[in-house]
Chain A
Amino acid sequence: MKQRPHLTPRLIQFAFLALTIAAWFVIDTTGAISPLFLPPMESVWRAFLALVQTAIFWSAVRVTLTTILQAYIIAILLGIPAGYLVTRSRFLTALLEPIVSGLFAIPITLFFPLFILLFGIGTGSKIAYGAAYGFFPIALNTIAGFSNVNPRFLDAAQSMGLSRLGTLRHVLFPAAFPVILTGLRIAFFISFASVLGGETISSVSGVGRNIALAAELMEPARMFAWMAAVIATALALNALVSRLESRMRGS
């Protein structure tokens, strides 16, 4: 009897990637889509190779990654303490949780021009914008994490005489940690996307700015090369974050 071919998820994922590339190739050769919207793969590849050899590329990447990192760190430094403080009492949680999640429902993009006015066209406005977007998932998950700690753990902690700080360190924080970690992960990619988005809308430097510029100058191959760089970075960061996350969850 013949062995059935083994379709592992990984194999299917690769097949999907291969299909996408194949579809792009078919579109190229048949000319079904104007090369202005989807340039030939080979020209994108050449543009990409040329791009990574320029100083502009690396300085733009550095600006963007630094902006993302700053936005993310601010989001964490504000989001976790804010989330924790909200859960200090049941009343505060009931009062503020709906407000925080309500605010998160408002597209912060609406206020982007305000960010530009307040923080200027430089990286400051993008940091603030990315931090504002990243703040919410972190704060909301911190609230959810801390307010859903099993009360029995708190009884046990109290009966063992744990101090307030001891309870936070040994019980509340570890209990809430997995939920907070999910928030941190979501926030990272939201900050990443907002910073790039902000750069595309209005900026003087960064990867997003260069993508917008390439589009304005009608250089689709160059634009796609920049986009490919972003996609590659996002995938690499995702792999890194997954690895960090599984290590943190494991301990």
Chain B
Amino acid sequence: MNLAHTSRRSARAYEAPVAIAVRNISQRYGDADSPQSVVALDNVSLDVRRGEFLCLLGPSGCGKSTLLNIIGGLVQASEGEVSVGGAVVRRPSPEKIAFVFQESTLFPWYSVAENFSIAFKYRGIGRSEWRDRTMVALKSVGMTDFADHYPDQLSIGMRQRVNLARGIAAGTEILLMDEPFAALDEQSRMVLGEDLSILLAQTGKTIVFVTHSLAEAVFLSDRIALMSARPGRVKSIIDVDEPHPRLPGFMLEQRFSDLRNACYASLHDEIRQAMTATGCAGSAR
């Protein structure tokens, strides 16, 4: 991995243009007058600036994954709209937005390289570029030797590296990441988080990252949007003013634990509420 310290200034520092505008998004499942109807998101508005790393942090079932899916056009919101680069999002736009889910979304029936090819094919990238692009992306995560392996032949950590590379290789400006490291053990999580920070400092992508890990949110984000228990709302936003790439030493600083504690204090009651709420479902689609 290239450890060049191409430090990137906090995106907000120079007031970059808005990349993603979320306006009054509400999401309801079931009919409004039915007693079974669930309000997953309630009037959420949010701006994500170009080059910014924004985390959506909140208790399980607060609708953070739903919000991410709405931003990416996988789900249509009941109310409100999202625009990306000024254009309203109505369906997935793989040329602008790439998703990174958990490692288990690599297709096990295709080799690593074939998994990349599928993404390239439907992104409209010429066949002649596939192999080169794949190798460049795999190199950035140190996985060049595994291009022709099948996902089942790799460890979970290696799979997630590959999956990350697949998201980045598409070359989109925006990356939406839905708890990508949730299946990893804490140590692998930390290391991959560091790698991600370095990788992203080089590419300058706009990222929205869903997590329920406080440390992960503080370590990676420029801003953290704290969400309330269902119905999900943006409760407050916390700035993390630390340039990328972030080094492990950041986690040892007092500032890091202060921020982490601030997030926890803000979320504590929400987490408790989410746990005791009846019908506490996981991230709803």
Chain A: minimal CB distance from B115 (Å): 10
Contacts of B72 in A (CB 8 A): 159
Given A158-B92, A162-B118, A163-B122, answer yes or no on A152-B101 (Cβ-Cβ < 8 Å). yes
With the chains together, A195 CA to B176 CA distance in Å?
56
Looking at the complex, which one of B97, B101, B121 makes contact with A156 (CB distance below 8 Å)? B101
Interface residue tally on A, bucketed by range: 10 to 19
Judge if A62 is at the interface, Cβ distance under 8 Å: no
Given A152-B101, A152-B102, answer yes or no on A160-B122 (Cβ-Cβ < 8 Å). yes
Q: Is the interface of A mostly helix, strand, loop or mixed?
A: helix
Asked if B102 contacts A160 (CB within 8 A), the reply is no
With the chains together, A152 CA to B105 CA distance in Å?
6
With the chains together, A156 CA to B102 CA distance in Å?
10
Mark interface residues in B83-119 (1 if CB within 8 Å of A CB, else 0). 0000000001111011101101101011000000011
Judge if B215 is at the interface, Cβ distance under 8 Å: no
Contacts of B97 in A (CB 8 A): 159
Judge if B156 is at the interface, Cβ distance under 8 Å: no
Interface residue tally on B, bucketed by range: 20 to 34
Asked if A177 contacts B94 (CB within 8 A), the reply is no
A141-169 residues with Cβ-Cβ distance < 8 A to B are 150-153, 155-156, 158-163, 166
Given A158-B92, A159-B72, A160-B118, answer yes or no on A177-B285 (Cβ-Cβ < 8 Å). no
Contacts of A177 in B (CB 8 A): 109
Contacts of A243 in B (CB 8 A): none
Judge if A175 is at the interface, Cβ distance under 8 Å: yes
Interface residues of B (CB under 8 A from A): 69, 72, 74, 92-95, 97-99, 101-102, 104-105, 107, 109-110, 118-119, 121-123, 170, 176, 285
